[in-house]
């Protein structure tokens, strides 16, 4: 049972590229703001916040356009989507069973570590 349909490929690829572009723009804006605080650029450069946001938007748009126009990247994303369509996702019951098993296993291992830590702490308290 596949959640993703092969005919929705272009929509999902464009959405992914848009999210990556938004993240690139956001990281650029945050980087410029931190540089502005570090070097006190807000006081030295007029409209620094607007300039940093403009640069962030420009970086985001450039990222979006460059990924869309790059034939290699576009082909790779289509191939990745094609492989993702073939994935058979597990059903809800098996996911719940595996999750419960992992929680039980982690609890057992962590209790062993707590017991060993407590034992060594008591031994060291007796020595020192």
Q: Name residue, tokens 């992914």.
A: 16
State mean pLDDT over 96-114.
Answer: 98
CB contact at 8 A, 64 and 21: yes
Whether this prediction's pTM lies above 0.85 is answered by no
Predicted confidence (pLDDT) per residue in 44-66, tens digit: 999 999 999 999 999 999 999 99
Is residue 2's pLDDT more than 90? no
Q: So where are the chain's domains?
A: 1-89, 90-128
- DSSP state letter for 7: G
| 75-83, long-range: CB < 8 A, 24+ apart | 77/13, 77/16, 77/17, 78/9, 78/13, 81/4, 81/9, 81/12, 81/13, 82/6, 82/9
At 3 the pLDDT is: 65
Residues whose CB falls within 8 Å of the CB of residue 1, separated by 6 or more in sequence, listed in order: 88, 89, 91
Q: Closest by alpha carbon to 32, among 14, 11, 47, 17?
A: 47
């Amino acid at each position: 049972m596949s959640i993703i349909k092969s005919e929705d490929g272009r929509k999902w690829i464009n959405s992914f590229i848009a999210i990556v572009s938004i993240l690139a723009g956001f990281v650029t804006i945050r980087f410029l703001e931190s540089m502005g605080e570090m070097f006190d650029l807000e006081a030295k450069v007029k409209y620094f916040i607007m300039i940093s946001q403009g640069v962030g938007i420009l970086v985001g748009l450039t990222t979006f356009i460059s990924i869309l126009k790059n034939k290699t990247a576009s082909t790779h994303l289509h191939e990745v989507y094609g492989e993702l369509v073939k994935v058979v996702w597990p059903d809800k019951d098996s996911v719940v069973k595996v999750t419960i098993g992992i929680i039980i296993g982690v609890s057992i291992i962590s209790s062993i570590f707590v017991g060993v830590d407590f034992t060594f702490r008591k031994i060291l308290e007796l020595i020192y």
